């Protein structure tokens, strides 16, 4: 009997759905092929319990210090919507050891951030939850956030959320154990999943129903946060006049282009403040604000709290 060992690193507020979906795919391998035994170890980085995104405490084992403590074949970092993203030397050490031994390494939800942090995905695409894309792009410019629900590259894989956690693990199982096993898992677990040519795109809000020119304008704004474009430039690139641009924003989004753009930048700033320890002034610059005073004032008007106070509340809540 072939034994395949997997270490799940459950970060604080990890997504229970992502974890169980990935685990479900792995456990089903045994149902498809009784000759394969899956052994999974759930580990935490602090204490004997980890609180998931549902508020449920999960019992965990201590994180192995080296691969000699627990010989494993796959390492999976499982994050969630509210997972604090900060360096952890123990996770980095495990990932480096895994890479040296050509072991599979994966990230679920924003667990992919830790793979990028260690330089494993330099120059590669990485799938991560849309709300963590801003932090990933700002922190690791050599890594490319993907609009794909999941990405598999060599022995690395990443996914954006719970549904794609099952999809990516099924496909990874196919690469490890063969197509027959993959098809068997799909019959059991993925019989109700829509069929497609590949991983589905991560859709944002209801943008797919907007006119093409407006979708293009929104994408231009999203891709030019640090150095904002003028409305004239956006209109030109979208093949619209400024007046046409304003009409489309008012008709479909019920807001002016200027207000939409500034709120887009401020929401990105808020994500960076909550998900990282980047200095407030650096967050302001990363979101296109030259003056820290202007940034603070506009931030307070939108969210009812200053950037510094938000950062303080976040640090005291941890």
When pLDDT is cut at 50, 70 and 90, the band that residue 313 belongs to is confident
Q: Report the percentage of the chain scoring pLDDT > 70.
A: 90
Q: Which domains does the chain have, with CATH numbers?
A: 2-189 (3.40.50.880), 207-317 (1.10.10.60)
Confidence at residue 311, expressed as pLDDT on a 0 to 100 scale: 87
CA angle, residues 8, 137, 255, in degrees to nearest 5 = 115
Give which of 176, 177, 178, 267 is closest to 218, Cα–Cα. 267
Cα–Cα distance measured from residue 272 to residue 278, given in angstroms and rounded to the nearest whole number: 7
Give which of 75, 132, 71, 86 is closest to 272, Cα–Cα. 132
DSSP three-state, residue 128: coil
The answer to whether 223 and 216 are in contact (CB under 8 A) is no
Mind listing the pLDDT tens digit for each residue in 215-231?
Answer: 889 989 988 998 999 99
Alpha carbon separation from 27 to 13, 30, 57, 130 (Å, rounded):
23, 6, 22, 28
Mind listing the pLDDT tens digit for each residue in 37-71?
Answer: 999 999 998 888 999 999 999 999 988 876 666 68
pTM (two decimals): 0.75
């Amino acid at each position: 009997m072939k034994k395949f060992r997997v270490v799940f690193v459950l970060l604080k507020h990890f997504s229970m759905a992502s974890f169980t979906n990935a685990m479900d795919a792995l456990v089903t391998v045994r149902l498809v092929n009784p000759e394969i035994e899956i052994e999974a170890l759930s580990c935490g980085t602090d204490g004997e319990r980890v609180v998931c995104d549902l508020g449920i405490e999960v019992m965990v084992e201590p994180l192995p210090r080296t691969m000699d403590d627990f010989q494993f074949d796959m390492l999976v970092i499982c994050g969630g919507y509210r997972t604090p993203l900060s360096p952890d030397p123990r996770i980095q050490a495990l990932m480096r050891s895994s890479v040296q031994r050509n072991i599979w390494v994966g990230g679920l939800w924003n667990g992919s951030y830790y793979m990028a942090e260690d330089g494993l995905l330099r120059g590669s695409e990485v799938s991560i939850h849309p709300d963590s894309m801003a932090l990933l792009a700002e922190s690791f410019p050599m890594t490319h956030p993907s609009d794909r629900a999941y990405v598999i590259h060599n022995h690395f894989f990443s996914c954006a959320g719970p549904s794609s956690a099952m999809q990516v693990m099924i496909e990874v199982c196919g690469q490890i154990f063969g197509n027959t096993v993959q098809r068997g898992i799909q019959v059991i677990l993925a019989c109700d999943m829509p069929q497609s040519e590949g991983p589905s795109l991560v859709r944002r809000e209801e943008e797919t129903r907007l006119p093409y020119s407006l979708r293009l304008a929104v994408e231009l704004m999203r891709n030019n946060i640090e150095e904002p474009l003028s409305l004239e430039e956006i209109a030109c690139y979208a093949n619209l006049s400024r007046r046409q641009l304003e009409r489309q924003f008012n008709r479909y989004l019920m807001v002016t282009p200027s207000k939409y753009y500034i709120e887009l930048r401020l929401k990105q700033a808020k994500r960076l403040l909550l998900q990282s320890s980047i200095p407030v002034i650096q967050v302001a610059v990363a979101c296109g604000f030259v003056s820290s005073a202007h940034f603070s004032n506009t931030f307070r008007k939108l969210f009812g709290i200053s950037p510094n106070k938000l950062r303080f509340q976040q640090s005291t809540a941890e």
